[in-house]
Amino acid sequence: MMNLDWEKLRLFEVVAEAGSFTEAARRLHMSQPALSRQIGALEEQIGAKLFHRHARGLATTHEGEQLRAATHDMQDRLDRARDAIDASRDRPTGEIRLTTTVSFGSTWLARQLGDFLDLFPDIVVNLMLSDLDVDLAKREADVAIRFHPPFQTELVQKPLFPIRHYLCASPAYLERHGVPRSVGELGQHRLIAYGDAAPEFLKGINWALDLGEEGAPRSAALTINNSHGVLQAVEAGAGIAALPSYLIRFSGKVRVVLPELEGAVFRTFFTYPVELRRSLRVAALRDFLVSRMTAANLDIDRYALSA
């Protein structure tokens, strides 16, 4: 692979524009012999003549024209990169690869991002959804909303509003099977759970199976390894499940049962690598999430929504 010296390419561009070594040397404040040697070394490296002489000075050869077109393209890219870097010092710009869980990202968060883009039109968001942690240290994503403290100590973590869970069912299910009035009555109902495939930090999501049980936990009639899928089943009348408050708000179709019970509470964090600490676009997203992830926007009045 040919490694070209950018300084020699810069000198070549000046010579081509000036049309003579004498004028180019004057513009560059260097001697003509030194300039000729640099261009000669570049021609040797490329293996082709870049100029031919004529009565009025120099003209680029076919190979010289090809090289000049390439250097123009490279210069344009460098100029755009420099402009982007300069702009990013003054205003948030560029791409953010944001990762979070499938249910939170595909429901509540997706509905907020339009407002964020209105506020910061020079930022592009790539939302990457997974219930498994994407490795930020390996730059598989830039930032994350996590439902647990970061396991990696080298990551910055900003606490966000905690997510609470409540038992819910559809009005149709409750009409057919009745409303449970005590924890003991849950054993008479179909329960829906996240399933054994839940990551370790999500194990508490199935707290309803252990409520009031001294022995083995209750069995779920249906398990689904995604909270949004659990919501779909609850809305369709499949049974009772613990749902996060943001999904209850998102749905608007389910009722809270046993509202005096508050289930699993997940602490949430906006987290990112230390090297992005001074990134304006990361700071913009962090501050936006802090302002939006509040009790008013995420939690519910469980008694007002109770069956």
Looking up residue 137, the CATH number of its domain turns out to be: 3.40.190.10
Range of the domain at 35: 6-90
Per DSSP, helices labelled H in the chain are 6-18, 21-28, 32-46, 62-90, 102-104, 110-119, 171-177, 227-235, 245-251, 280-292, 295-298
**Same-domain status, 10 and 78:** yes
Of the segments 24-38, 40-54, 161-175, which one has the largest average pLDDT value? 161-175
Backbone φ, ψ for residue 151 (5° rounding): -80, -25
303 inside domain: no
3-state helix, strand, coil in the chain (%, to 5): 45, 20, 35
Mean pLDDT of the 200-228 span = 75
Identify the pLDDT of residue 238.
96
Same domain? For 79 and 127 the reply is: no
Tally: H helices and E strands in the chain: 11, 11
Q: Does any domain span residue 183?
A: yes
**Distance from C-alpha of 174 to C-alpha of 151, rounded to nearest angstrom:** 41
Q: What's the CA gap between 201 and 267, in Å, rounded? A: 10
What span, in angstroms and rounded, lies between the C-alpha atoms of 213 and 249?
29
Q: Are residues 139 and 280 in the same domain?
A: yes
Q: Are residues 271 and 203 in the same domain?
A: no
Q: What is the pLDDT of residue 201?
A: 61
Instruction: Please state the domain count of the chain.
Output: 3
237 part of a folded domain: yes
- Domain stops at, among 33, 60, 90: 90
pLDDT band at 253 (very low <50, low <70, confident <90, very high): very high
